[in-house]
Structure formats: C-alpha cells, structure tokens
C-alpha cells in the first residue's frame, strides 16, 4: 500500500515508524506541507502525518494548515487509515472538529504518560517535543494523556499520538542542532544529554514504536 507521508521540507524522517511500515510492505510517498498545492489529489491508501515546529493557529501558515486539514478530512471521509504524530495529532484534532491551543507547560524530553491501553501505548517513557495541546474531536476515544493534555486518541480509522514514537538519536540530533540547542537550554535541558538518552533508549523505543505501528495496522486501520 502507498502511504502518503506529510512533513516539513528538511524534517520529514519517519524514523522507526517508517521503518516498520516498510517492513510491513508499505511504500512511503513523501509530500511537504510547505507546498500546500502538493497535498492535492495524491493517490495513496494511507496517510502518515509527522511533527512540525509550526503551530496550527499561526496566521502566516493558515493556507498550509487548511490545505493539510482538507487532505485529512477528505482522507477520513474516504475511510483511509491515518496516523498523526505530534503536530500531526494536533492537525487531526483540528481537521476533525477538535481544537488546538498553547499548552500550559511544554513537554520536551523523555516523559511518561497515563494510558488506558498499556499493551500498545505503555506508560513509556516517550520522546516529547511540543508546546501546544489539543481537545480531542467529537466521537474520539482518548487513549492516553499527561499533565499537558491528551496524548493519544482514536477516531474511526485515525490514530493520533502527541508523543514521537518515530524519533531515534538521528532525529533528535537534528532537532537539537542550532537553534534547537538554545531552545533546549532555555528549558533547562542539555542537548548532548538528550541525544545520549535517546541513543540509550533506542532498543526499547524502537520496540514500542513497532508495537504501536502493528496495532495501528492490525486493529485501527482495517475496516
């Protein structure tokens, strides 16, 4: 199956999630939300929506946000499976009738979550890097949350997760490079320590990501 992968130009690595999708026989087709015209009429059987440094409510990306929201609404109405990660989860909430707003506290680093589905979304830790949170759409079932807000929901064949199951040390190293390093230090985090922690977590986080993708493909995506 062709999987449309939506990310920002230069930040579209699906990491462990992409690795598992390929192992399960899926072909990844990248598209960039920076170019909203490129999101129209792309033939695919599934959609993967990655994170972003953007906020859904930023006025200067309104056209991009609405193009992506239209893609997600159309895919959802057509019954296509959708997996949204971090900003992708917020986009799903926005597109399907929920809302997105600044979180009272940012979540950056390795964090645990409260979960109703510990076999597929265990307590963690999960890699987080976000300043916004969302209200789940009408009809959605919340699966996990933290002090910052909802962490996962499912609605039909769509699964949204606020954390980053895809992130390995290479992804985190890219996010931690300038100006991300200054951002981390403002939050009291050491970039090198975060990369080292991510490297140490790799075996367990890869396994958690694979389990999540398998559950999505086997339990959420089927009609």
pLDDT in tens, 29-64: 999 999 988 787 667 899 999 999 999 999 999 999
Q: What is the mean pLDDT of the chain?
A: 96
Q: Which residues contact 188 (CB under 8 A, 6 or more apart)?
A: none
What 3-state DSSP class applies to 101? strand
**Which tokens go with 82?**
């959708």
Segment 16-29 mean pLDDT: 98
Q: Which domains does the chain have, with CATH numbers?
A: 2-167+202-220 (3.40.50.880)
What's the pLDDT tens digit per position in 66-98? Answer: 999 999 999 999 999 999 999 999 999 999 999
pTM above 0.85, yes or no: yes
């Amino acid at each position: 199956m062709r999987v449309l992968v939506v990310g920002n130009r230069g930040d579209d690595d699906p990491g462990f999630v992409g690795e598992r999708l390929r192992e399960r026989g899926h072909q990844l087709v990248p598209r960039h939300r920076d170019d909203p015209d490129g999101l129209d009429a792309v033939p695919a059987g599934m959609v993967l929506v990655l994170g972003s440094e953007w906020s859904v409510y930023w006025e200067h990306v309104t056209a991009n946000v609405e193009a992506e929201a239209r893609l997600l609404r159309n895919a959802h109405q057509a019954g296509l499976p959708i997996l949204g990660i971090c900003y992708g989860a917020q986009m799903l909430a926005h597109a399907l009738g929920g809302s997105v707003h600044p979180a009272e506290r940012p979540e950056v680093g390795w964090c645990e979550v409260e979960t109703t589905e510990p076999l597929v979304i265990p307590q963690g830790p999960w890699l987080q890097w976000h300043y916004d949170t969302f209200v789940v759409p009408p009809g959605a079932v919340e699966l996990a949350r933290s002090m910052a807000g909802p962490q996962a929901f499912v609605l039909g064949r769509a699964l949204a997760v606020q954390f980053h199951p895809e992130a390995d040390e290479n992804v985190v190293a890219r996010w931690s490079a300038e100006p991300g390093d200054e951002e981390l230090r403002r939050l009291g985090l050491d970039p090198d320590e975060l990369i080292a922690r991510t490297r140490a977590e790799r075996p367990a986080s890869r396994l958690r990501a694979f389990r999540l993708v398998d559950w999505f493909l086997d339990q959420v995506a089927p009609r």
